[in-house]
Structure 1
Amino acid sequence: MSTPPKEQSAPSPSKGAVSTPDKWPSRDLFRDSVTLVVGKSKKAYTLHKGLLCFYSDYFRAAFNGSFKEAAERKIELSDVEEEVFEFFQLWLYTRRLNLFDTTFSMLAKLWIFGDQHQMPLLQNCSIDTMLLKRIKQNTFAPNVLRVAYANTLAGSPLRRAAIDIASSLVIQDHANSMLRADFEEEWSVESLIDLVRVIESRDKALPQYSLPKRDECYYHVHGKDEQCPK
């Protein structure tokens, strides 16, 4: 049998992969290795199987099921960009995304990679870093809107985060305004409708450049009855 197809899906709770930052892999997960062949150039990476399965339901199914990948201890990810995978590889072993080295666009791509491979903690870390980056740098990359709306379904945490950030940067005379004429191609009808809804529901007492007030896990993917520790 071949690898299960990666379908675009609405955000769904994790089936077992870790989704909260208080859970850590044991040293037993660093024993066996598998090979991942990535991108059009078919570059091979060797990673720990247990670690991949700890964070990803997709890789757990592929390497522990009846698929050929389990027997060969190898999987091909031909549609994944090498740069995205290398950022993921760094996160896999450190659980960190550098605020200054990781662009908004890369954070969006990492979230999508996590969505496709059922890795909720990577998705949550990507969103958290994106929000912190917005706060620290007071800017945003408008192409994240296009990437988010082209690769996720309505209601996805990535869309919600992108629109909330954009809503805090829509002041026309601001240098980083998301409504600048040269950003028009990054917007779709769907994203503009979502923007209007968020702006209409904003707390009018908040400063114009502030992010909307949200629950801590509003942008996160969690399993049933799971939430990040307070």
Structure 2
Amino acid sequence: MVVSDTIIVRVGDERKDYTLHKRLLIHHSEYFRGALSGNFRETNDGVITLEDIATEYFDVFVDWLYEKEIPKIKPSALGKGQNSTLLRTYVLADRFMVFGLKNAILKFLFDMNEHGRMVPTYATITYAFQNLTEHDPLLQFIVDMFCVNNAIDSCSPEFENTDQLRQVPQEAFARIFVKMRAIKGMAKEEKKLKRSAYKV
């Protein structure tokens, strides 16, 4: 049972209010630890306002905060459907420095890839590289999945979209090139991804 003072977090364009326990926010998030310590301007009226965040992604954060669970979804192209929600929630967790949630999402995506081959879309690659720091483990995981799962040979119309292809950052292309060279000629078992390679 959580017993501590609460704070209102007002989220999104619709200004949805979440009444959350300060102790949990401070424990799991370095961002909220700073916001709730001292005279942080965003909490002068007892409310933290986050207008630039979609409630859909904040909902996942709140569910994890209290239940330590993330949505159970079926394997699909990374960046489509509910996978898109997880990717954007990961970026939210990175912004708020919620490393436990980042690890939980990364593990969940890794396990999904193990049970059903996932192929990152061009839009996914672009979004991830534009919103995460260069050393974030999810970036390398996305690159590795793209290469090991033979995304280029995919029959999906997504990979014929030259407009989206042009938007992919050069850093992503460079990493893909390096990975493709590294796995060239490897047996299938040798290419298998290892969870220990992706640590937050």
Alignment TM-score, normalising by the size of structure 1: 0.73
Alignment counterpart, residue 4 of structure 2, candidates 25, 28, 31: 31
Q: Provide the rounded CA distance (Å) in 2 between the counterparts of 1:69 and 1:189.
A: 37
Alignment of 1:1-230 (within 5 A): 27=1, 30-100=3-73, 103-142=82-121, 143-170=123-150, 172-175=152-155, 180-182=159-161, 185-186=164-165, 187-202=168-183, 204-207=185-188, 211-213=192-194, 216=196, 218-221=197-200
Q: Provide the rounded CA distance (Å) in 2 between the counterparts of 1:198 and 1:177.
A: 23
What do you get for the CA RMSD once the two structures are aligned? 2.7
Question: Number of matched residues?
Answer: 191
> Which structure dedicates a bigger proportion of its chain to helix?
2
Q: Provide the rounded CA distance (Å) in 2 between the counterparts of 1:182 and 1:115.
A: 29
Which sections of structure 2, spanning at least 5 residues, go unmatched? 75-80
> Once structures 1 and 2 are overlaid, which stretch shifts more, 65-74 or 91-100?
65-74
Contact 1:168 1:208 in 2 (8 A): no
Q: Provide the rounded CA distance (Å) in 2 between the counterparts of 1:99 and 1:194.
A: 30
Q: Identity over the aligned pairs, expressed in percent?
A: 23
Could you report, residue by residue, the CA deviation over 1:95-125 in whole angstroms, capped at 9, with x for unpaired residues?
1113317822222111111111111111111
Q: Which has the higher contact order (CA 8 A, sep 6+)?
A: 1
Deviation at 1:219, TM superposition (A): 2.1
Deviation at 1:126, TM superposition (A): 1.2
Q: Provide the rounded CA distance (Å) in 2 between the counterparts of 1:211 and 1:120.
A: 25
Pair 1:113–1:195, CA change in 2 (3 A): same
Q: Provide the rounded CA distance (Å) in 1 between the counterparts of 2:157 and 2:185.
A: 19
